[in-house]
Amino acid sequence: MDNDALKLSGPSFIADLARMGGNPASGMTEDQLKGSGPSFPADLARMGGNMGFSPSITGTPVTTATENSAYDGFTVAASGGSTPYTYALVGTWPAGITVNSSTGAVSGTPTEAGTFEDLSVKVTDDDGETAQLDTFTLTVAADGG
């Protein structure tokens, strides 16, 4: 459910927030909606209805690394949608780099040098809704050894 649909959902704290210009659809999880008090959207969510809140994902990738040296790494964070979240790497990453599927921490030690393009991290929420970081390029320098 998007903010426009929330505005039309009748009297409730959530609908009022959307009507006043707030953005509850992007910042609330379905679990938070379930606990938000009496309203059509909250009641529907409590009865197991999928409100269609999509997650969003943020993070700042580290775009350089050195072969056979620990990657500085980064962590992505998700909000919105329905918890729990599952994180996955998108694209062909260098061997040795992984993502923690529960925390979104990208780390490891790349074991191959090269330029790796069109990389990203994707989050999938409990309802199967997804979001993905903008793609980026990771450059892994040869270790010179």
Whole-number pLDDT of residue 14: 61
Q: 93 and 27 share a domain?
A: no
Whole-number pLDDT of residue 131: 94
Whole-number pLDDT of residue 54: 77
pTM of the model: 0.69
Which structural domain, as residue segments, surrounds residue 125? 55-141
Whole-number pLDDT of residue 21: 64
CATH number for 134: 2.60.40.10
Find the length of the chain: 145
pLDDT under 70: residue ranges of the chain? 1-53, 145
Q: 84 and 34 share a domain?
A: no
Q: 42 and 61 share a domain?
A: no
Which residues, in sequence order, are CB contacts of 105 under 8 Å at separation 6+? Answer: 73, 74, 75, 99
Whole-number pLDDT of residue 126: 87
Whole-number pLDDT of residue 102: 97
Over residues 112-145, the pLDDT tens digits come to 999 999 999 999 998 888 999 999 999 999 997 6
